[in-house]
A and B are shown apart, each in its own frame.
Chain A
Amino acid sequence: MTAAALSALWSYWRRNPIQLFTLVAGLALATALWSGVQALNAQARASYDAAAAVLGEGRFDQLVPRVGETIPQETWLALRRAGWQAGPVLEGSLRAGQSRVRLVGIDPLTAPGSAGPVTQAGEAPLQAFLSDDVIFAHPEIAEALAATLPQTVVEDPGLAPGTALTDIGVAQRVLDRPGELSRLILEETQPRGRPPLDRVAPGLVERPSQQTSDIGQLTDSFHLNLTAFGLLSFAVGIFIVHGAIGLAFEQRRAMLRTLRTLGLPLRRLMVLMGLELAAIALVAGTIGVALGYVLAASLLPDVAATLEGLYGAQVSGALRLHPAWWLSGLGIALLGTALAASGAFWRIARMPVLASGGARAWAVAAGRRRGVQAAAALLLMLAAPALLAVGEGLILGFASLACLLIGAALLLPSLLDLALAAGERLARGVRPAWFWADTRQQLPGLSLALMALLLAMAANVGVSTMVSSFRLTFEGFLDQRLTAELYASTDGSAQAAALQDLAAARGAKVLPILSIESRLADRQVEIRGLRVGPSYTETWAFLARDGDVWDRVAAGEAVIVNEQLARRADLWPGDRLTLAPDHRLPIAGVVGDYGNPNGQVVTGEDLFRDLFPEVRATRFGLRSDDPEQLRQALVGDAGLDPGQIVDQSSLKSFSMGVFERTFTVTAALNVLTLAVAGFAILMSLLTLAGMRVPQLAPAWALGLTRGELGRLELMRAGVLAALTLVAALPLGLALAWMLLAVINVEAFGWRLPMFLFPDDYARLGALALAAAVAAAVWPALRLARTPPSALLKVFANEA
């Protein structure tokens, strides 16, 4: 009996290969997008962990210079002699062939605890470290490094990508920085009675191990973004699967009824169907995981570029995956199938043995469910703003987004039904009336595909609005901020003085870049001192201001904060900020500071020099009418290396390049989501086509040709897609608003103004419409070529 039942169940898929293909493909696509995104996230996280392990950043507090990037070795020794248990780190970058290598030097004897992986066990790393001039390097750069340096280079996959680790003595020689250190890593336990830091090393500041600008936390928002996209794609895929399974179950009602009446117990029937679905899910999951791997591998270079450009986080370009990842991919396929099939199973479990089967019954039932669905949709759409009102946070923001999107998707069938009913009322003549009524009739079978189209289209509108708004704002911001024609960095006060003299002699205006790291309002912030002048007063746009900002800042009576700090510490114009024990100044303005993850406070130059007399500017902006001549003079007369000078336009194009790569991944996922929606429409139409012959046969018998029927099919797909697009536009704009005003603020600390791009929407709409019509072409052609005998058979059956 079991074998017979199995063979009966399987025969259905043999007779309906398109449905089987839909099921497998939908599931595989959902699994692929989900597991691809997970692979990207896992790869990036592994890279951060490796980096944090090398540098001890995750676990240990550090001492960093208040000014500049160098700590004299003597300062470290003075700290050691005073009892401070700190290990020195020297970091620098060097070119090896085509790649940029970050060389990290440590002293293994004083490095705290497990500050870094050195090499695989079995070798003698300490000997190598201390006396053999060995550099351990990530495999991707090892060869290039070996070709550049005389030292022995040993591959170590445990290191972060782009990173090489060596003894501090070797690092000082290779980087040509004798007696210099970058920072000190503090041991977790320190001895009793050591003197305070400012007495031994006043030039250093303690940086706690866990802080807000930590790479992991910063990049979390990016990964959450990716995860949200992965989930969205998964949801769209599961819509398809749900549709396919639901249809298959309904069409098999007659067979199930027969099997039951032949004596197959309900429990065994359910188990058999469960096993059948599980087998399909495993096959589809395997395909999906493989596709996911391809997807992740092809997107990884862009993700790596984004993370490096936006956060300075290095991510390996070679995909390495843990076996657990493959298993979790299969797991998600099974879980998705279970989710999609639960409703169908529930109905079979309660199905009366003698209930009638057939597609029409399914459609009618779908119509009955529509009311419940619409109510749920309204509830979800109400929950979206309610969630935002309740609290803050990225997770809540995404939850609210999810409510909005799912609510809108659930509401779509009811809205379309209303629109089609209106069309029906307005229709004149028999044929249009039949067209509208028949379209309405088909709605239940197509609604899942249309919901997928709605989500994909809204996501495209929303995300493209966000990216384009961001791009406009960012370009404007760069124009505001990059006012100097040249930017030069000097290697010390002598060169800085030469630069200033030379610039003054040539009538160029010098804008010193004064900056110090500090902790204000319990946050790591950068304090900058500006020489207030037209370069700033005429260009900076304030998001909020109080009085004449620049006069007050120039007089040292007020400060400006960036939006990130204002939002995180809730500091706005009028509030006061303590810069130093006796300097508690009001905030005069808040400026946008896009692309910078950290808080910033801006003071006038005089106040800055009073507060931090030890800071000397080493970087300068230079305003000149003839920047090219000034550049040549700086290189020729002031002794600057050409690499120390960068001009405005290359700085701008570099920044924009970073920006564009940031959203490459988003755009790629967007296109994929749309493609999945198109596929859903194609599959739904193909499935429906077979069932619709009995409904079309009377229309044919009444005089409509098969060609006309096919054209009407195409038109129907176009009308439904167009109606869906009309609904998708406001949904996409709502999504864009939430991304700009909620998600961005939570993730990055800045809110962006929203711009509208009607041309883009029109192009997108045309594309989506074309995709829907294209998806309908094949089913329509099939219909147009249905042999008259097949249509005649309908009546034969009735007779």
Chain B
Amino acid sequence: MRLEILPLLVLLAVPLPAAGQGFAGMGTEAQGFAMPKPDPSFTFPADHGAHPDYRIEWWYLTANLEGPDGTPYGLQWTLFRSALAPGEAEGWESPQIWFAHAAVTTPKAHYSAERFARGGIGQAGVIADPFAAWIDDWRMAGESLDNLALRASGESFAYTMELRAEGPLVFHGEGGYSVKSAQGQASYYYSQPFYRIAGALTLPEGEVEVSGSAWLDREWSSQPLAENQTGWDWFSLTFDGGAKLMAFQLRQTDGGTFESGTWIAPDGATRALGDDALAATPLATTEVAGRAVPTRWRLEVPDRHLDVTVEAINPAAWMDTSVPYWEGPVRVRGSHEGRGYLEMTGYE
């Protein structure tokens, strides 16, 4: 065995994956790790920081951007934490492993990069106050979560952005306790979906000034998926009137799905959407990296009179990382117009 496949095993959190353990091993047992409990009470800014007693955690930023000529762009900046054992330690003995993905999507191209780091030595980490999340030279930091500077670079792209929050934090599920399966698997999950974002993309063809909106997801848990769940389809959409929708479905080995979502009013008021309150149906697939990935969807929330088509701006937005997945900007048409981001995992 050579080291090149080791990063994969980080995500798989050993032992080697077997069918029925969910995407990226997230369906495995959570021995010794803390478990999310209902009725959470968050403390900020402390909870913007890391929770090393939980197995996995992420700071997940996606943005829909527009260039001076109206060209749509997508941007992703994600920092993941994955613990081999609960708790933190100084130096190389730290059981915490950090990894990050960054990407820029244009209508024609998709650029992505990946970073890995050990905890305990300062190469990567998250501090709550003042807020700083970093790995190598990739950094998302500011006085608070409401004002952030963001940067990342890969072999053929780079970006620097400024973000300002124009609305409140949004808590998913029951006050931030987000159930992920009928058996009760759950995570802590809140978002800041109200960022205005502006900055510069450096692409192979040159530099582009862009602006738009961004959405930050914060989630941590120790076993968010049930053993029979193989992957998910996750939507974060912003409609022209200012309302927003977070919706996901977890796919099961038996072909069934588990749905959940949050309707977010323009003022930030939320309404949780249960398992049968929404439906996501693939309409068309694209052959990406040798797999058939649905890049056009029908999304329905009857309660909200929402029936829209969600279509990838670039169907080839494949994240060619150690654990590969699809992640890219989408356009929304139908009963509501708008844009957003789509993430799809577990397509073999």
Enumerate chain A interface residues (CB-CB to B < 8 A): 73, 77, 80-83, 85, 106-111, 113-127, 129-131, 167-170, 172, 178, 189-194
Interface residues of B in 58-99 (CB under 8 A from A): 84-85, 91-93, 95, 97, 99
Given contacts A131-B95, A167-B92, A191-B158, contact A111 B3 (CB under 8 A): yes
- Are B123 and A80 interface neighbours, CB within 8 A? yes
Query: Could you tell me the distance between the alpha carbons of A114 and B91 in the complex, rounded to whole angstroms?
Result: 25
Query: Within the complex, which residue of B134, B137, B155, B158 is in contact with A82, where a contact is CB–CB below 8 Å?
Result: B137
The interface residues of chain A lying within 8 Å CB-to-CB of B15 are 124
Tell whether, in the assembled complex, residue B1 and residue A125 are in contact, meaning their CB atoms are under 8 Å apart: yes
Q: Report Cα–Cα, A129/B95, bound state, in Å.
A: 11
Which residue of A has the minimal Cβ distance to B204? Answer: A192
CB distance from B79 to the nearest CB of A (A): 14
What A residues does B99 contact at CB under 8 A? 109
Known A125-B9, A131-B84; further 13 A-B contacts with Cβ < 8 A: A82-B137, A109-B99, A109-B116, A118-B3, A123-B1, A124-B15, A126-B9, A126-B14, A130-B97, A191-B137, A192-B153, A193-B158, A194-B137
Q: How far in angstroms is the closest Cβ of chain A from B12?
A: 9
B98: nearest chain-A partner, CB-CB: A109
Contact assessment for B16 and A107 in the assembled complex, using a CB-CB cutoff below 8 Å: no
Contact B1 A119 (CB under 8 A): yes
**Minimal beta-carbon separation of A164 from chain B (angstroms):** 16
For residue B122, give the distance in angstroms from its CB to the closest CB of chain A: 6
B157 an interface residue at 8 Å Cβ cutoff? yes
Known: A114-B2, A124-B15. A83 touches B136 (CB 8 A): yes
- 8 smallest CB-CB distances across A and B, nearest first, come from A169-B92, A83-B137, A109-B116, A191-B153, A114-B2, A121-B1, A126-B9, A124-B14
Asked if residues A120 and B1 are in contact (CB atoms below 8 Å), the reply is yes
Q: Chain B residue with minimal CB distance to A171?
A: B92
Q: Does B198 contact A (CB under 8 A)?
A: no
B 125-144 to A, binary, CB cutoff 8 A, 1 in contact else 0: 00000000010110000000
Give complex CA distance A111, B5 in Å. Answer: 11
- Interface pair A193/B154, CB less than 8 Å apart: no
Q: Give CA–CA (A80, B93) in the complex, Å.
A: 19
Closest-CB distance, B326 to chain A (whole angstroms): 23
Whether B270 is near chain A, meaning CB under 8 Å from some CB there, is no
Q: Is B257 an interface residue (CB 8 A)?
A: no
Q: Are A193 and B153 in contact (CB under 8 A)?
A: yes
Closest to B153 in A: A191
Given contacts A118-B2, A168-B92, contact A83 B153 (CB under 8 A): yes
Q: Report chain A residues within 8 Å CB of B122.
A: 77
> With the chains together, A439 CA to B136 CA distance in Å?
85
Q: How far is the CA of A118 from the CA of B157 in the complex (A)?
A: 33
Query: Which residue of A108, A110, A169 contacts B91 across the interface (Cβ within 8 Å)?
Result: A169
- On chain B, the residues within 8 Å of A191 by CB distance are 113, 137, 153-155, 158
Q: Are the C-beta atoms of B4 and A114 separated by less than 8 Å? A: yes
**B121 on the interface (CB 8 Å rule)?**
yes
Give chain B nearest CB distance to A89 CB in angstroms: 13
Q: Mark B99-131, 1 if CB is under 8 A from A, else 0.
A: 100000000000001001110011100000000
| Whole-angstrom CA separation of A169 from B95 in the bound complex | 12
Set of chain A residues within 8 Å of B91, measured between Cβ atoms: 169, 178
Cα distance, A608 to B6, chains bound together (Å): 45
Q: Which residue of A lies closest to B154 (CB)?
A: A191
**CB < 8 Å neighbour of A192 from B2, B14, B118, B157:** B157
In whole angstroms, what is the CA distance A506 to B156 when docked? Answer: 63
| B residues neighboring A (CB under 8 Å) | 1-4, 6-7, 9-10, 14-16, 84-85, 91-93, 95, 97, 99, 113, 116-118, 121-123, 134, 136-137, 153-158, 202
Give Cα distance in the complex from A82 to B135, angstroms. Answer: 10
B1 and A192 within 8 A (CB) = no
Main secondary structure of the interface of B (DSSP, over half): mixed
9 sampled A-B residue pairs with Cβ under 8 A: A83-B136, A109-B99, A111-B3, A121-B1, A126-B10, A170-B92, A191-B113, A191-B154, A193-B158
Shortest Cβ distance from B272 into chain A, in angstroms? 38
Residues of A within 8 A of B156 (CB): 192
The minimal Cβ–Cβ distance linking B318 to chain A, given in whole angstroms, is 18
Complex Cα spacing A73 to B123, Å: 11
Docked complex Cα distance between A114 and B123 (Å): 21
In the bound complex, residues from chain B placing their C-beta under 8 Å from that of A190 are 155
Given the known A-B contacts A77-B121, A83-B136, A83-B153, are A125 and B95 also in contact in the complex, defined by CB atoms under 8 Å?
no
Q: Are B1's CB and A73's CB within 8 A? A: no
Known contacts being A109-B116, A126-B9, A191-B155, is A118 close to B1, with CB within 8 Å? yes
Residues on B with C-beta less than 8 A from A106 are 3
Distance A83 CA – B7 CA, assembled complex (angstroms)? 19
| A105 closest partner in B (C-beta) | B92
The answer to whether A81 touches B92, judged by C-beta atoms less than 8 angstroms apart, is no
Q: Give A124 to B12 CA distance when docked, in angstroms.
A: 11
Query: A residues within 8 A CB of B117?
Result: 80, 109-110
Q: By the criterion CB–CB under 8 Å, are B4 and A113 in contact?
A: yes
Contact of A109 among B10, B95, B153 (CB under 8 A): B10
Closest chain A residue, CB of each to CB of B137: A83
Closest Cβ neighbor of B156 among chain A residues: A192
Cβ distance B322 to chain A, nearest Cβ, rounded Å: 11
A127 to B118, CA, bound (A): 13
Chain A residues with CB under 8 Å of B10's CB are: 109, 126
Collect the chain A residues with CB atoms within 8 Å of residue B84's CB. Answer: 127, 130-131
Contact A192 B155 (CB under 8 A): yes
Partner among B4, B92, B157 whose Cβ is within 8 Å of the Cβ of A172 = B92
Bound together, the chains give a CA A172 to CA B17 distance in angstroms of 32
Enumerate chain B residues within 8 angstroms of A193, measured Cβ to Cβ: 153, 158, 202
- Cβ-defined contact, A109 with B2, below 8 A: no
Q: How far is the CB of B8 from chain A (nearest CB, A)?
A: 9
- Is the Cβ of B155 less than 8 Å from the Cβ of A109? no
Instruction: Give A85 to B113 CA distance when docked, in angstroms.
Output: 12
When distances are taken between beta carbons in the complex, the residues of chain A under 8 Å from B137 are 80-83, 191, 194
Query: In the docked arrangement, what's the CA distance between A172 and B156, Å?
Result: 35
Query: What chain B residues lie within 8 Å of A130 (beta carbons)?
Result: 84, 95, 97, 118
Question: Measured between C-beta atoms, what is the minimum distance from A193 to chain B in Å?
Answer: 5
- B158's closest neighbor in chain A, by CB? A192
Q: How far is the CA of A106 from the CA of B84 in the complex (A)?
A: 18
Question: In the complex, which of the residues A77, A129, A131, A167 contacts B85, with contact meaning CB atoms closer than 8 Å?
Answer: A131
The answer, among B7, B9, B157, B158, for a CB contact under 8 Å with A124, is B9
Answer whether A108 and B3 are a contact pair too, CB < 8 Å, given A77-B123, A131-B85, A172-B92.
yes
* Docked complex Cα distance between A82 and B151 (Å): 12
Q: How far is the CA of A111 from the CA of B118 in the complex (A)?
A: 12
Cβ–Cβ < 8 Å partners of B116 in chain A: 109-110
Taking the nearest CB of chain A, how far is it from the CB of B41, in angstroms?
32
Give A127's nearest chain B residue, CB to CB.
B14
Which A residues are in CB contact (< 8 Å) with B14? 124, 126-127
Question: Is A124 a contact partner of B16 (Cβ separation < 8 A)?
Answer: yes
- A77: chain B residues at CB < 8 Å are 121-123
Q: Select from chain B the residue with minimum beta-carbon distance to A115.
A: B3
- Taking a contact as CB atoms under 8 Å apart, the answer to whether A169 and B97 are in contact is no
Determine the chain B residues whose CB is within 8 A of the CB of A109 once the complex forms.
Answer: 6-7, 10, 97, 99, 116-118
Residues in A whose Cβ lies below 8 Å from that of B157: 192
Task: Known contacts A73-B121, A120-B1; decide if A192 and B154 are in contact (CB<8 Å).
Answer: yes
Which A-chain residue is minimally distant from B118 (CB atoms)? A109
A193 to B15, alpha carbons, bound, how many Å?
Answer: 38
In the complex the two chains form, is B118's CB within 8 Å of A107's CB?
Answer: yes
Of all chain A residues, the one with the shortest Cβ separation from B134 is A81
User: Closest approach, in angstroms, between the C-beta of B239 and any C-beta of chain A?
Assistant: 35
Q: Give the distance to chain A from B266, nearest Cβ to Cβ, in Å.
A: 38
> B152's closest neighbor in chain A, by CB?
A191
B9, B10, B121, B153: residue with the most chain A Cβ atoms closer than 10 Å? B121
Chain A residues with CB under 8 Å of B7's CB are: 109
A169-B93 contact in complex given A80-B123, A81-B137, A126-B14, C-beta closer than 8 Å: yes
Distance of A106 Cα from B155 Cα, bound (Å)? 24
- Among residues of B, the one whose C-beta sits closest to the C-beta of A187 is B155
A126 to B9 Cα, complex, angstroms: 7
Which of A81, A114, A122, A172 meets B3, CB within 8 Å?
A: A114
